[in-house]
Chain A
Amino acid sequence: MRLWDRFLHSFISPGLWVPFGSIVLGFLVGAIIMAFGGFNPFVAYAALMQKAFGSPYNIGEMLREMTPLLLTGLSVAFAFRAGLLNIGTAGQMVMGSLGAALVGVLVPLPPIVHAIVALFVGVLFGALWGSLVGYLKAYRGVNEVIAAIMLNWVALYFANYVIRTAILDPQQKQRSLYVASSARINADFLSALFQNARLSYGFLLALLMVYVFWFLLYRTRLGFELRAVGAGAEAAQYAGIRIGRQVIVTMFLSGAFSGLAGAIEVLGVYGYMTISTVHASYGFDGIAVALLGGATALGTLFSAFLFAVLSYGAAGMQFAADVPLEVSRVVMAAILFFVAASALVRSLYTVTLGRMRRGSLESEVNRS
């Protein structure tokens, strides 16, 4: 009964209208742009859904795509709760991949132990890269956004250098050697369940991290302090929380989530690391995921799912309906835009639905 009340309440609460309204508006913007380009948006969206849910294999691959989105989303959300914007998830992910690839290729270890050590080193690399942002912010006064953007590019070129000099595949030239099979984290039973989709234990780990995220925030002293800093840094400092240390620890843990995402890409999906000139989009996608999810554990899970459908289904759109897959990125951008400019969504909402709900709106005004 109480659960049902809360369920109903969630639909009436203004907090949820913004994300839902933004999703609807985002898809609408995508439809308008497709219509403008001479495509039928209904056919395109149908093809997108068909690609994302059409077969067990596709569902499995879509969930594989969801894994880094979920982890970078949690990474951004975690920092966000402490009042920090972690725009450096791309770099932390690269460092995570690099750590995992180095251990996977160079260090000989028995099975299972090897995978665990490789994952751990990946997480550590990501976490340290994140805490570097925290250090620069807390003790050097560098804006965390600027520091993170710069470090993203440094990480990319640094990783390229290390791959090229230490673990380059002499035949391929553009990627590292394969990690040893003892370091892979493929989950055969999961793959079999989804017609050999590249799902690994990484996906299960990512789901576990949703719980870890919640636990860290709400069941540890650290999480309490972190949320206190996020709610008001000055008050938190007055209460005896050391802000500088807190910023570094927050960015360390935030970077750990992204590092795990990078490690899973190497150990669970590809088996190697590529030399690339631009960042994979997951880093910036993570911001979208976290914001749409309201920086909560479950919200991030749902929005990671939505973005995975969008991003994996996009290929189907291109294949079946000839719509360039970049449309999905426009839809993501539009959703994020409406979440960010929530005042816009609220005002649209007020115009269209406000009259029907005048009473509750007044109470909303009174509260704020």
Chain B
Amino acid sequence: MIDLIAQLINITLVFSSALIFAAMGGIFSERAGIIALSLEGYMIGGAFLAAVAAHVYEQLGWGASSAYLAFFTAMIAGMLLALIHALATVTYGADQVVSGVVINFLAAGLSVFLVKVIYQGAGQTPTLKTAVFSKWSIPYLSDLPLIGPGFFRMYPTTYLALFTVALTAWILWRTPFGLRLRSLGEHPAAAASLGISVRRYRYIGVITSGALAALGGATITLTTTGNFSHATIAGQGFIALAAMIFGQWNPHWVLLAALFFGMATGLKNIIQLYPWARDIPTEWIYMLPYVLTLIVLSSAISRARPPKALGEAYDLSRRT
């Protein structure tokens, strides 16, 4: 039983890591007032570039360090996609939901196109051999019963994801930059009247979200799948979006939401190993995150209040 719990904790953290990165990215974007529907696209971009970069570094013979380099290289893809989103929504006042759909479209099409171009028509990137993350065992701590195998034998990405949560909370709530960024999500005109450049801060918020969500995509490539195909992300960006809303745009609650959704995925994988659980249809477990989000959002108890100016283009000429 203790083994089972430790295993569940471990697998939950593995599956949550990608969601945590992406959901933190979502907070940066939506707190600045730009809808983060494009998280899915950023994750696809990140997963794609991570797979390609890791393969290139592997060929160059950089061994285990290529996973780390590829992980951070992946950010570029997310940032470029986010730049397009920011250009459309911030500079040209496009509908943010539509632009988000465009980014998801673009990332899905372009990534598979490039895979086929680079790998002579193959539908997925070659499976990585050495350039993937291996789990770290923290000395001494990993020998503890239950906690050891549960928390201290993890991929480095998991530790980094947890650190990102703390960093996001600190940046957004403890620095002048964070206060300015959040003010744009509530009342951009008021912020602008105090001399804050709405355009610059929104660009920063959106591009940060692209970088973080791309790390989420890279996490999946470099820890779970080992390659990239059209089905690598398959809706995880939308689960991250759900986690962000579920956690009410607050890093700590979002962390809990992402852990919960990660557990739903983990449960699905673990449960099939045990005969007593085979009767539970997997479809219901797949559905769980979405249904729970809807229930929470529609219940009177929820105080899910999005940033007030979310989704509104800021028109400099109106100043209202």
| Distance (whole angstroms) from the CB of A87 to the closest CB of chain B | 7
Question: Are A341 and B94 in contact, CB atoms less than 8 angstroms apart?
Answer: yes
Q: Which B residues touch A329, using CB under 8 A? A: 105-106, 108-109
How many angstroms from the CA of A178 to the CA of B109 in the assembled complex?
32
Question: Are B283 and A157 in contact, CB atoms less than 8 angstroms apart?
Answer: yes
Asked if B286 is an interface residue, CB under 8 A from chain A, the answer is yes
Question: Are B88 and A341 in contact, CB atoms less than 8 angstroms apart?
Answer: yes
Question: Are A147 and B294 in contact, CB atoms less than 8 angstroms apart?
Answer: yes
Question: Are B113 and A33 in contact, CB atoms less than 8 angstroms apart?
Answer: yes
How many angstroms from the CA of A146 to the CA of B302 in the assembled complex?
15
Closest to A343 in B: B92
| Distance (whole angstroms) from the CB of B289 to the closest CB of chain A | 8
Q: Which B residues touch A327, using CB under 8 A? A: 109, 113
Closest to B99 in A: A340
Q: Which B residues touch A332, using CB under 8 A? A: 105, 109
Q: Which B residues touch A28, using CB under 8 A? A: none
Asked if B117 is an interface residue, CB under 8 A from chain A, the answer is yes
How many angstroms from the CA of A284 to the CA of B106 in the assembled complex?
12
1/0 per residue B18-45: CB within 8 Å of A? Answer: 0000000000000000010100000000
Closest to B292 in A: A150
| Distance (whole angstroms) from the CB of A341 to the closest CB of chain B | 4
Q: Which A residues touch B105, using CB under 8 A? A: 284, 288, 329, 332-333, 336
**With A37-B117, A343-B93 as contacts: A146 and B287 at CB distance below 8 Å:** no
Question: Are A277 and B231 in contact, CB atoms less than 8 angstroms apart?
Answer: yes
Asked if A278 is an interface residue, CB under 8 A from chain B, the answer is yes
Chain A interface residue bracket vs B: 35 or more
Closest to B84 in A: A337
Q: Which A residues touch B98, using CB under 8 A? A: 85, 287, 291, 336, 339-340
Asked if B95 is an interface residue, CB under 8 A from chain A, the answer is yes
Question: Are B121 and A336 in contact, CB atoms less than 8 angstroms apart?
Answer: no
Q: Which B residues touch A33, using CB under 8 A? A: 110, 113
Question: Are A284 and B104 in contact, CB atoms less than 8 angstroms apart?
Answer: yes
| Distance (whole angstroms) from the CB of A45 to the closest CB of chain B | 15
How many angstroms from the CA of A337 to the CA of B112 in the assembled complex?
19
Q: Which B residues touch A145, using CB under 8 A? A: 35, 37, 97
Asked if A143 is an interface residue, CB under 8 A from chain B, the answer is yes
Q: How many residues of B contact A (CB 8 A)?
A: 46
List which B261-320 residues lie within 8 A (CB) of chain A: 281, 283-284, 286-287, 290-291, 293-294, 297-298, 306
How many angstroms from the CA of A154 to the CA of B242 in the assembled complex?
13
Q: Which of A142, A164, A288, A326 is the most central at the interface, judged by chain B CB atoms within 10 Å of its CB?
A: A326
Question: Are A142 and B92 in contact, CB atoms less than 8 angstroms apart?
Answer: no
| Distance (whole angstroms) from the CB of A167 to the closest CB of chain B | 15
Closest to B116 in A: A324
Asked if B61 is an interface residue, CB under 8 A from chain A, the answer is no
List which A1-60 residues lie within 8 A (CB) of chain B: 33, 37-38
**With A136-B298, A145-B97, A153-B238 as contacts: A340 and B88 at CB distance below 8 Å:** yes
- Which of A87, A154, A278, A322 contacts B287 (CB under 8 A)? A154
How many angstroms from the CA of A328 to the CA of B108 in the assembled complex?
11
- Which of B95, B109, B297 contacts A147 (CB under 8 A)? B297
Question: Are A330 and B231 in contact, CB atoms less than 8 angstroms apart?
Answer: no
How many angstroms from the CA of A141 to the CA of B303 in the assembled complex?
11
How many angstroms from the CA of A344 to the CA of B88 in the assembled complex?
8
Question: Are B284 and A161 in contact, CB atoms less than 8 angstroms apart?
Answer: yes
Q: Which B residues touch A278, using CB under 8 A? A: 231, 234-235
Question: Are A324 and B95 in contact, CB atoms less than 8 angstroms apart?
Answer: no
Asked if B13 is an interface residue, CB under 8 A from chain A, the answer is no
Closest to B310 in A: A143
How many angstroms from the CA of A165 to the CA of B284 in the assembled complex?
13
How many angstroms from the CA of A157 to the CA of B291 in the assembled complex?
11
How many angstroms from the CA of A278 to the CA of B238 in the assembled complex?
13
How many angstroms from the CA of A349 to the CA of B245 in the assembled complex?
39
Q: Which of B35, B99, B109, B242 is the most central at the interface, judged by chain A CB atoms within 10 Å of its CB?
A: B109
- Which of A150, A151, A287 contacts B101 (CB under 8 A)? A287
List which A304-348 residues lie within 8 A (CB) of chain B: 322, 324, 326-330, 332-334, 336-337, 339-344
Question: Are A153 and B106 in contact, CB atoms less than 8 angstroms apart?
Answer: no
How many angstroms from the CA of A337 to the CA of B41 in the assembled complex?
14
Question: Are B102 and A333 in contact, CB atoms less than 8 angstroms apart?
Answer: yes
Question: Are A333 and B298 in contact, CB atoms less than 8 angstroms apart?
Answer: no
Closest to A139 in B: B298
- Which of A136, A161, A164 contacts B294 (CB under 8 A)? A136
How many angstroms from the CA of A340 to the CA of B91 in the assembled complex?
12
**With A37-B117, A164-B283, A341-B92 as contacts: A153 and B110 at CB distance below 8 Å:** no
Asked if A355 is an interface residue, CB under 8 A from chain B, the answer is no
Asked if B114 is an interface residue, CB under 8 A from chain A, the answer is yes
Asked if A160 is an interface residue, CB under 8 A from chain B, the answer is yes
Closest to A332 in B: B105
Asked if A209 is an interface residue, CB under 8 A from chain B, the answer is no
Question: Are A150 and B306 in contact, CB atoms less than 8 angstroms apart?
Answer: no
Asked if A140 is an interface residue, CB under 8 A from chain B, the answer is yes
How many angstroms from the CA of A330 to the CA of B283 in the assembled complex?
32
Closest to B106 in A: A333
Asked if A158 is an interface residue, CB under 8 A from chain B, the answer is yes
- Which of B102, B109, B234, B235 contacts A340 (CB under 8 A)? B102
Question: Are B106 and A140 in contact, CB atoms less than 8 angstroms apart?
Answer: no
Q: Which A residues touch B284, using CB under 8 A? A: 157, 161
| Distance (whole angstroms) from the CB of A95 to the closest CB of chain B | 14
Question: Are B97 and A154 in contact, CB atoms less than 8 angstroms apart?
Answer: no
Closest to A327 in B: B113
- List 23 interface pairs A-B (beta carbons < 8 Å), by A numbering: A37-B117, A38-B117, A87-B97, A87-B101, A140-B298, A147-B294, A149-B37, A150-B294, A151-B290, A153-B286, A153-B287, A277-B231, A287-B98, A287-B101, A326-B108, A326-B113, A326-B116, A329-B106, A333-B102, A333-B105, A339-B98, A342-B94, A344-B88
Smallest CB-CB A-B distances: 3 pairs: A329-B109, A140-B298, A324-B116
